């Protein structure tokens, strides 16, 4: 039952990163667009799905609270300030999404709010992931750090790297959903963003090894784990080929595979720890009775409904965004 909930929380977390990642990435790319028609098309490309994408973050947090309460308590204690900043940024972004559509004289302000909210939300997510990889101070099962223990050069590097990664997802989504000048912008940005992501991944892996020498032992003892970064390398090649051949669906698909490969590589590096080298999954898990009870509601009802709704929404709003389309 514990393995079931580990799999479910991994699925929901990955879906959040991929789905909310691309619309946050579109928001980040908003910073680099000065053409009003392109901005309208960028918003129209994510308008039908952006708020539904954030559902997966709520579900991930809820599952973590119910299935692994010790980990939830430690993570929230360590990242209370980043969580508050990130939630406020997402609220600002959502408000800006609505207000920009109706604004006349203040549109530039709401443009900045939308792009800034997207950037800040992504940055704090990456910083939190980096701090978690680096390790949070735990003593006697309780958080032993300070208010800003999560902030370090390594965690900030991870924040910048996630901004590049989400922007790459956003550029792939723009290519997938748009035509004409906006699609050309996406194609031009993808190689540069891909180069930035690859540099970040190399630096992050080196930093993680310097913090946790045990990671290298895991990879030498289990060489089959190399299949995950191998898939990532193939996805990078597929991404570049898709850009070269102008296959509109391929950049976004290959970018999602890169993220999935990086996610699995990270999980394999620290298994069976939910908080690296401080708290294992078995120690963090709720009693069997609680996990079983949750399976009936969240596992058999809520999760399938969300998957069906998400799949249905993306099917209904499939296809290219037409010229002249705007958020409504």
Instruction: For 45-181, list the strands marked E by DSSP.
Output: 138-139, 142-143
The reply to whether 84 falls in a domain is: yes
Confidence of residue 138 (pLDDT cuts 50, 70, 90): confident
Distance between CA 134 and CA 152 in Å, rounded?
A: 9
Q: Identify the domain containing residue 86 by its residue range.
A: 2-316
Can you give the pLDDT at residue 327? 58
Q: Average pLDDT for residues 35-59, to the nearest whole number? A: 87
Domain annotation covers residue 328:
no
Spatial separation of the C-alpha atoms in residues 217 and 219, rounded to whole Å: 5
Structure tokens at 323: 């010229």
Q: Which of 184-198, 199-213, 242-256 has the lowest mean pLDDT?
A: 199-213
Q: Is residue 322 part of a domain?
A: no
**6-28: pLDDT as tens digits:** 999 999 999 999 999 999 999 99
Tally of CB atoms within 10 A around 79: 23
- How would DSSP label each residue in 198-252? HHHHHHHHHHHHHH-THHHHHHHH-GGGGHHHHHHHHHHHHHHHHHHHT-THHHH
d(CA 160, CA 314): 29
pTM for the whole structure:
0.93
- For residue 321, being part of any structural domain is answered with no
Flag whether 326 is in a domain: no
The tally of domains found in the chain comes to: 1
Q: Is it the case that residue 254 has pLDDT exceeding 80? A: yes
CATH code, 133: 1.20.1630
What pLDDT is attached to residue 164? 95
């Amino acid at each position: 039952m514990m393995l079931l909930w580990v799999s479910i929380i991994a699925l929901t977390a990955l879906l959040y990163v991929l789905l909310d990642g691309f619309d946050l990435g579109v928001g980040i790319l908003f910073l680099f667009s000065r053409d009003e028609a392109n901005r309208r098309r960028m918003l129209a490309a994510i308008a039908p799905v952006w708020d539904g994408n954030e559902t997966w973050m709520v579900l991930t947090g809820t599952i973590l609270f119910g299935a692994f309460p010790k980990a939830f308590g430690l993570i929230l204690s360590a990242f209370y300030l980043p969580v508050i900043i990130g939630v406020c940024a997402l609220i600002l972004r959502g408000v800006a999404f609505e207000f920009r559509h109706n604004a006349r004289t203040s549109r530039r302000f709401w443009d900045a709010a939308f792009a800034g909210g997207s950037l800040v939300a992504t940055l704090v997510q990456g910083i939190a992931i980096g701090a978690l990889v680096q390790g949070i101070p735990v003593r006697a099962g309780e958080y032993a750090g300070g208010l800003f223990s999560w902030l370090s050069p390594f965690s900030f590097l991870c924040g910048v790297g996630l901004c590049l990664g989400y922007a790459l997802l956003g550029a792939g989504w723009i290519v997938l959903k748009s035509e004409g000048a906006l699609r050309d912008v996406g194609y031009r940005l993808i190689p540069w963003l891909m180069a930035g992501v690859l540099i970040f991944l190399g630096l992050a892996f080196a930093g993680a090894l310097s913090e946790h020498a045990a990671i290298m032992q895991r990879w030498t003892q289990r060489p089959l784990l190399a299949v995950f970064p191998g898939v990532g390398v193939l996805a990078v090649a597929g991404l570049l080929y898709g850009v070269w051949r102008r296959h509109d669906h391929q950049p976004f698909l290959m970018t999602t595979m890169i993220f999935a490969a990086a996610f699995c590589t990270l999980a394999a590096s620290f298994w069976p720890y939910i908080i690296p080298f401080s708290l294992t999954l078995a120690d963090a898990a709720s009693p069997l009775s609680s996990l079983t009870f949750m399976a009936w509601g969240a596992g058999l009802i809520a999760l399938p409904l969300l998957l069906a709704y998400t799949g249905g929404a993306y099917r209904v709003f499939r296809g290219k965004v037409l010229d002249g389309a705007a958020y409504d």
